[in-house]
Every structure is written in structure tokens, then in C-alpha cells.
Structure 1
Amino acid sequence: MNDPLDHAELNAALHNVHRAGMPGVFAEVRDGEEVWRGAAGVADLATGRPVTADMRHRVGSITKTFTAAAVLQQVENGLVGLDTPIGRYLPRLVPGELGDAITVRMLINHTSGLADYLPYAYPSLKAFPSLADTTPESLDDNRLTRFHPTELIGMGVAARPAHRPGGTPGTYSNTNYLLLCQLLEKVTGLAAEQCITENVIERAGLTDTELPLGPEIDGPHAQHYEAWFGMIDPPRDFSVFDMSWVGPAASLISTVADLNRFFRLLLAGEIVTPLSLAQMQRTVPVVSFEGKLVDYGLGLHRNQVPDRGTFWGHDGSAWGAGAISMTSADGTRQMSIAVNLQRWNRLDASGKPQPHPLDGAIAALHRVALGVGSAEDRRGHL
């Protein structure tokens, strides 16, 4: 299935992303035993400090795959039932008929119908993810705000639901995953961060991955530049940020090498059992924050890549930081890519994001990393 890695082609595609406007981009691509790592651009616009491929980075909702794996482990242990109503475990957080109707599975695959709490925690993002009327003030105001997860869950549970429990397409919601974190705490007696760290991160041998408890990123890292659709101009660094607003739903710090290792082991049945992995790979249609329809399993996206087959993984973003990790179904081809600018597209009068040179450059990097098409065809897109 796989083409040998063309290091020159990968380097060219990476540098094209930087030239298109990305301050810094770094990646690891694997094909069998062959590994390529690369970096282009700067970690700090003020000093010109370069990015390197081993930098630690906020990877946003890629965290959800780790959280889902931790829940599946407790299913294996007999402490959680996938199709058990969440109200059996957390009756105070999801009470009454709603708690009886929403199952653990519905939380993991985003078919619960629960609204996302984000517009209520960040009032000036009141229209999120409808972008036309949003403003960025809440990002600055809440840099060091410490949210309690049950406070955020309460906002999401009380809000008007997106659809009935179990309905499809599902609606992507961080409320689901904060509830799963509370479920982990209930059945294991450990803080969710500790449970995921001991049972997933350490089990996978990820030495540069952590769920932070404070606002700082420890170790070498890039600044995280948020543009908020041109409303923050020039983009500002939000690498120091209290991530309690998402907790173990999207706060993970990792490296591109650790991400590839994690997904390689997960798809090999070494983090959860093959039976649990099969459950994770049962997908339903889910509407993402961006309004796109994705095939979503239990913490995993399924991506059908032309000429390459099925890939599994996840993407994610935090304020100013983005990442994507994809692994072929047979585990041989992998890519993990990180960037340090987010929401670079400006909006038109209707609130629709406008095209930007970065869109095409990043898509071209993905094609090269996944080996889509011939080398000649890929160069034609660069």
C-alpha cells in the first residue's frame, strides 16, 4: 500500500506551509520502519527562535481519543457499561429522564444531543460555532480563569439540546467528554487526569505527553498564535492559558512522535483490547464544530483517503495551536502534524470563512504525508 517516504518532497511541502503564512509547522511521518521528521518556521515571532520537530504542543481534541481509551479500559474491567445510562453513574449531573436516555456510548460518539457549554463559559463567544458575531475578548479575560468541570457540565446539560439522545447525525460537544471524565473519577476513585495518565499515557510509554494542571507548557515549545478570524491582528500568543475550560476533553500536551506512537499502539490493540478497539471503530455521522460531517467512532475519526484506504485518528485545536494525527488501518503509514497559528481565515459579511493560502498548503502537506497520488501529481499541488 505505502510509498517510500520522499524526504525532499516532505520538506518542500512543510516549508510551503510556512511560506503560506504559518509561523511554525512541524511533523513526523512514518512508513513502516522509515521515519521522517521535519520543522519549518519560527516558534516565536518576536525572537525568530526556530521550531523543532521535538517540541511539545497543545493538541486539543486529540485528547478525546485518550479519554475514550481510558473509558473503554473501565468497560473491560467491568466497571462501566457502554450502553448503560449515564444517570446510573452520575444522577446529579444528568438527572431524570435525560440521564435515563443518554448512554455512555452516546457520550463517547457525540450522539447524546447535549449542547456544548463553550458559549456559556465564554459569553463573548455567544454565537460559537456560528462565527459572524463572535468577539475575542473572552480569550484575554479568561487566560487564568479556573473553571470547575461540574460548573461547565451544568451549563451544557441545562442548554437546549441539539437533538434527541441517540439521534444522528450527532453533534460534537465538549460537554460529553467532561461527563466521561467525571465517570472515570466515579468508578476509579482517581482524578481523571491521573486515571488517563496511569492507564493510557504511561501504558503507551509516552514520555513527552501530559495533561497539565497549570497554565504553562513545560519544556521546549512554540508560542501559540490565535488570529480569531482576523479579529486579533496581529495574532496574539495564548500558549499560557488555564486549560480547565476543557480539562481532559482537550487539554493534552504532546509531541508529534508521541502521537504517532500512541495511535500505532492503539490500532495494534495494545492500549485497549481488540474487542474494545472494534467498538471504537464503529462510526456514526457527527457534525463537527466547523459544520462538517465526519465519521466518528468512540473517540476516533475514520478518514477514507483516496488511493490509500482507511485511516484512523483525530484532530484538535486549542487557542493558537492545532494538530492532526492519522494512522492507516494496518498501522504502517502515519502522520502527525502540529501548527502554531489557528483561525487564520477572515470572515465575509455572512460569517463564512474566506479562502487563505494556508488552506491549500496544508492540504498539500497532508497529501504528501499520506502518499496520496503519484509524486508527480503531488508536486503539481505544491
Structure 2
Amino acid sequence: MKIDDVPDVLPRGGAAGGAGEDRRGKRLQELLDAERDAGLIGAFAQVRDGDRTRSLVTGLADLTTGRPPRADFRHRAGGVIKSFVAVVVLQLAGEGRLDLDAAVGRYLPEVVPGDRGRQVTVRMLLNHTSGIGDYLERFSATTEKLAEAGTRTFAPAELVRMGLDLPPAGAPGSKWSYANTNYIVLGLLIERLTGRPYGAELAERVFGPLGLTGTSLPGTDPAIPGPHQRAYLPMADGSVRDCTSYDMSAFWAAGELISTAADINTFYRALLRGEVLEPGLLREMKDTVPFNPKAPGAGGYGLGILWFGSKRGPVWGHNGLAPGHTTYCSNSEDAETQLTLAETYNLYEPLGSHSHPITAARQAFTAEVMGGTED
């Protein structure tokens, strides 16, 4: 299907679930619709201002049927899972079952062998300073390769080997370099220490206690359970490929999470308010390394969580990309103001880029949420 062949029936969004007719709600809807006008297929978002919740939708959830998105849809949240995985690792550290500054080879000598196993620490895996290459580069060189990765099943150890076979991004601990391989290793670490599937630990320690009933890990099941947007991946020839059915084993502990906007906001509010980790562990999580050492005030990455600057101070959260779905999570320091935005379609741009109209529209929407004030 060519995106240009779709009739111009993409509807402007409608506020849902309590957005009301207030001026702030109208302004947020206008800005979300601007993403649709810039070419985004569809999106839904939940904005929390204190105790007030606004749910907004725009565009289409399905190009074939023309149905609109719903605010309660489930969505592949990609890298947002890293915050969840990091929580479990930090809890295990708090229980004395691992040392964040111990070499990963102490726990998984056969997974990360040799010098790297002796030099890379658990903390370096968590904050992406390990220097290990990103195995996902093997799949994301083209969108065609990324689409094909969802047609087969991968073992976690296979993904780790792919990352270790790539040229190192740097010496262990020398700089920040995002690598999904790090979190595949962390998933294996959780399993080694607990003797259980890492997903069982996430469910018992996070999903269940926080009541995240719309959150799950699919394993090798290619389906998205419950109501959802379809997932569209842009191809090089200008067409879009439907990747709604996709074996997420190629992402595993680095990106297989399925969730809802409400569940993700609930998770980050509980996390940032100290309801998930003990205070000392939360401080460890928020101890960040800069994305760019030449601009340390622009943002940084902690242990499974990142921050960017805003008019109101640091904005915490994580972004996530899965084939055909993208998720953006923003939270004020006290989690009074929150945004989880789930989009259909992927854009591949450098961190912080403003070059694509959809990206610019998204950043304007996010800035309004995180910097705006109630009427």
C-alpha cells in the first residue's frame, strides 16, 4: 500500500475520556492533530495534570477500514521496557543478589566472555556505557530487514552474539552509546539470578503490584492482545508494510513490551514518587551520564531512564520504537505532569532532530504538555 494512495479521510482527533472543552485541552488536541496533518497515520495519548487526565486521539488506527484510534488501545512500547527491566535489576541489587559495579562476567561468563566480561559492569549495561555494539543494527539497516526480522524466532543468546561481533562503540565505561544488546544481557542476568523467566519477574514485581492489567510480554506470539492500532512500517519505495503480526523475539528484554498509555503513566508516576524502588535505588537510577559530553545540560541517561531539559526542569521517561509503533514518555520531576504518546508509523531520525515535520509537530505537542500551564 502506498501512503499517498490513501484517500484524504484521516479524521481530526477528538478529545476522549475527559479532555472536555477547556482551552488547554483544545490546544493539546490542535497540536496532536498537527502530527496527523504532517503525515502521521494515527496516534493516541494520555496527559495527566495532577489528578486530571486527558485522553486524545487523532488520525486512523487502520488504513483499510478507516477506524479511528481509541485512547485505551494496547501498543508495542519498544524501548520503554528498559525502565521496567532496570527496576527489576535494581530491586535484585537492593536484595543483595547482585552488585551493580561487579563485572557481568561474574554472573554470565559464557554470555559475555573474555576481557569484556571482566571489564563491563552491570551498571555499564544499564546506562549504555558498556561499549558493546547494538545488535539491532543488523536488522535496522533498512526497514525491509526490520520487517523481515519479525518473521522468525530468535534466541536471546543469538542476539547477544550479534552485538558482541560488532565493532565496539568504545572502551567499557568511556562514553554513552545506546545498545539494545545491553538489555538482552540484563534479561539473561535476571533469569540467571532468579531461576525464572525474566517476564515472570517483571509481572510479579511490577505489573501485578501496580495493577498494570493492559501490560504484557508476548514472547513468540506475534499478535497484540486486545484492541490496538495496526502497525505500519514505511518502506524505501514509499509504501507502508503492515507489521501488526510480528514475532518480537528479535527485541526480547530490549523492546518486546506491550502496554497502554494509562499503564505506562501509572508506572512512571509510581516510580518517580518512590513507590517502586527504595530512595537510594531511585537515586542510583537517576544518576545519569550525558548524551553529549559537550552539552551535559541537554539531557542524559541513567539506569534504564533518561531525561531532557524543559522550561519546567528535567523531563524523565523513555522512548520506545517497535516496527510500526513508536512511544514517547515524558514526566515532570514529581510526576504531576505526564504524557504517554503512542504513534502508528516510525521515523528514523538522529536524537533531537527537528528535520521531519512529524518530529517538529511532536516536539511542539510535548513541549506544550510539559511546559504549559492549566487555565
TMscore range, shorter length: 0.7 to 0.9
Match of 2:217 among 211, 230, 251: 211
TM superposition shift of 1:294? 4.6
TM superposition shift of 1:274? 1.2
State the match for 1:70 in structure 2.
Answer: 88
Given the alignment of the two structures, is residue 147 of structure 1 paired with residue 147 of structure 2, yes or no? Answer: no
**2-side partners of 1:245 and 1:22: how far apart?**
25
**1-side partners of 2:190 and 2:88: how far apart?**
8
What is the aligned length? 346
1:198-277 superposed matches below 5 A: 198-213=204-219, 214-228=221-235, 231-277=236-282
**1-side partners of 2:277 and 2:344: how far apart?**
31
Match of 2:332 among 317, 328, 332: 328
TM superposition shift of 1:96? 2.3
TM superposition shift of 1:312? 0.9
- Give the alignment's TM-score, normalised by structure 1: 0.86
1:299-338 superposed matches below 5 A: 299-306=304-311, 308-338=312-342
Q: What's the % identity of the aligned pairs?
A: 40
1:261-295, Cα deviation, whole Å (9 max, x unpaired): 000000111111111110000000247xxxxx850
Equivalent residue letter for 2:287? R
Match of 1:182 among 180, 183, 188: 188
Instruction: Check conservation: 2:143, 2:234, Cα contact below 8 A.
Output: no
State the match for 1:359 in structure 2.
Answer: 359
Can you give the 5+ residue segments of structure 1 that lack an aligned partner in the other structure? 129-134, 288-292, 348-352, 376-382
Distance 1:6 1:83, change over 3 A: same
Higher mean alpha-carbon deviation, 359-368 vs 324-333, is at 359-368
State the match for 1:350 in structure 2.
Answer: none
Can you give the 5+ residue segments of structure 2 that lack an aligned partner in the other structure? 1-21, 293-297
**1-side partners of 2:334 and 2:354: how far apart?**
36
For the aligned residues, what is the CA RMSD?
2.0
Instruction: Check conservation: 1:226, 1:232, Cα contact below 8 A.
Output: no
Equivalent residue letter for 1:226? L
Instruction: Check conservation: 2:45, 2:261, Cα contact below 8 A.
Output: yes
**2-side partners of 1:91 and 1:85: how far apart?**
9
**1-side partners of 2:314 and 2:299: how far apart?**
13
Other structure's SS at 1:153 match = helix
1:1-382 superposed matches below 5 A: 6-120=24-138, 122=139, 125=140, 128=141, 135-168=142-175, 170-213=176-219, 214-228=221-235, 231-286=236-291, 294-306=299-311, 308-343=312-347, 355-372=355-372
**2-side partners of 1:294 and 1:318: how far apart?**
23
Equivalent residue letter for 1:244? S
**1-side partners of 2:337 and 2:304: how far apart?**
20
TM superposition shift of 1:232? 4.6
TM superposition shift of 1:354? 9.1
TM superposition shift of 1:5? 7.7
**2-side partners of 1:258 and 1:373: how far apart?**
24
Instruction: Check conservation: 1:178, 1:248, Cα contact below 8 A.
Output: yes
TM superposition shift of 1:13? 1.3
